[in-house]
Amino acid sequence: MTDARLIDGNAFSARLRDTIATHVQTLRDEHHVVPGLAVVLVGEDPASQVYVRTKHKRTVETGMKSFEHKLPADTPEREVLTLIEGLNDDPEVHGILVQLPLPGHIDSQKVIEAIDPAKDVDGFHPVNVGRLSAGLDAMVPCTPLGSLMLLKDVLGKLDGLDAVVVGRSNIVGKPMAQLLIKESCTVTVAHSRTRDLPDVVRRADIVVAAVGRPEMIRGDWLKPGCTVIDVGINRIEAADGTKKLVGDVNFAEAVKVAGAITPVPGGVGPMTIACLLRNTLVACARQHRLPVPPV
Ligand SMILES: Nc1nc2c(c(=O)[nH]1)N[C@@H](CN(C=O)c1ccc(C(=O)N[C@@H](CCC(=O)O)C(=O)O)cc1)CN2
């Protein structure tokens, strides 16, 4: 059997960012409006610092305004909430994102709920969670949205397909399941208590792995020809002592069985930031009561 097709998230996200940049230019030229994204980082988590830096770079490249707020790790919760109140009221800011995880003394849910749902480009506010689950227009979390775009690019229509989402987090697993239900898939959400997980995964035409456990999903758990979306980003030590990035799927085994698969890195990860820009563009258009660009 030939190896699975590699789903190239770097190439897809670069095309998406180009399309977004074109729409940003149109908004600027025709309506004198420039989308603005505010990113709040609390603390010095090294991975978060890299992601926030990349978000700033991509935001500016796309022609949008970027507002970075970097706060020390011991910033009181009240100060973060006050900052968000200010961003909610700032007409130049159309999207607000608080980089997660937050330091332990800050209640993440309280912070998320302080964001104006119209500016919640992460789609984590309960209003957006509820709207997505009701099948209404909503801000959709970036990683599941990017995963869905890749799936549609590979498979076209998804209706009637069996999808298994492994992981039930609020950020990925649950919204991913909602998006797949909307596409008329038959969706199973599996998690740490699921019985006979390999058998459950083996039924799937689409496997979305979002458990946060390095290489947990093995090649012999997969239905031959299925499509695998690996959301996991795990830093592990390789046999030679160097650090490497792996997903939640054992790639070397899975590539021999699946029909198509996202690599890690270079699969879903780059889609997360491209979809953040997409959500900021959409939020801006809605706030100015302009037609929402088709992205
Ligand atoms: N408020 C949020 N916090 C976090 C989110 C989020 O969507 N909203 N997601 C993750 C981190 N994240 C964006 O914030 C993110 C993760 C990974 C990538 C990415 O491009 N990954 C690369 C590998 C990069 C590396 O070497 O580490 C890839 O997979 O190719 C982008 C964004 C948690 N926090």
Give the Å distance between the CA of 137 and the centre of ligand 1: 24
Active-site residue 152, yes or no?
Answer: no
3-state secondary structure of 71: strand
Per residue in 159-172, is it b (16+ CB within 10 Å) or e — as a string? eebbbbbbbbbebb
Cα 25 to the chain's mean position, in Å? 24
Cα angle 283, 99, 60 (rounded to 5 degrees) comes to 55
Give the Å distance between the CA of 272 and the centre of ligand 1: 6
- Beta bridge pairs of residue 249: 217
The pLDDT tens digits of the residues spanning 68-108 come to 999 999 999 999 999 999 999 999 999 999 999 999 999 99
Annotated binding site: 167-169, 233
Catalytic-labelled residue, pool 99, 119, 174, 205: 99
**Local confidence band at 39 (pLDDT 50, 70, 90 cut-offs):** very high
- Beta bridge pairs of residue 5: 260
Do 142-269 and 31-118 have the same topology in CATH?
A: yes
Q: What CATH topology corresponds to 31-118?
A: Rossmann fold (3.40.50)
Task: Please give the radius of gyration of the chain, using alpha carbons only, rounded to the nearest integer.
Answer: 19
What phi-psi label fits residue 248: left (phi over 0), alpha (psi between -120 and 50 degrees) or beta? alpha
Token pair of 108, please? Answer: 């993440």
Give the Å distance between the CA of 196 and the centre of ligand 1: 30
Substitution site in 16, 272, 273 for ligand 1 pocket (most atoms within 8 Å of beta carbon):
272
Active-site residue 178, yes or no?
Answer: no
User: Is the predicted ipTM greater than 0.95, yes or no?
Assistant: yes
Torsional sign, CA 2, 186, 249, 253: negative
The domain locations on the chain are: 31-118, 142-269
Strands annotated E in 169-250: 186-190, 206-209, 227-230, 234-237, 243-246
Cα 202 to the chain's mean position, in Å? 25
What superfamily would CATH give domain 142-269? NAD(P)-binding Rossmann-like Domain (3.40.50.720)
pLDDT recorded at residue 203: 97
The binding-site residues of ligand 1, defined as CB within 6 angstroms of any ligand atom, are: 51, 97-100, 122, 142-143, 233, 245, 264-266, 269-270, 272-273
Active-site residue 109, yes or no?
Answer: no
pLDDT recorded at residue 27: 97
The pLDDT tens digits of the residues spanning 113-160 come to 999 999 999 999 999 999 999 999 999 999 999 999 999 999 999 999
Give the Å distance between the CA of 265 and the centre of ligand 1: 11
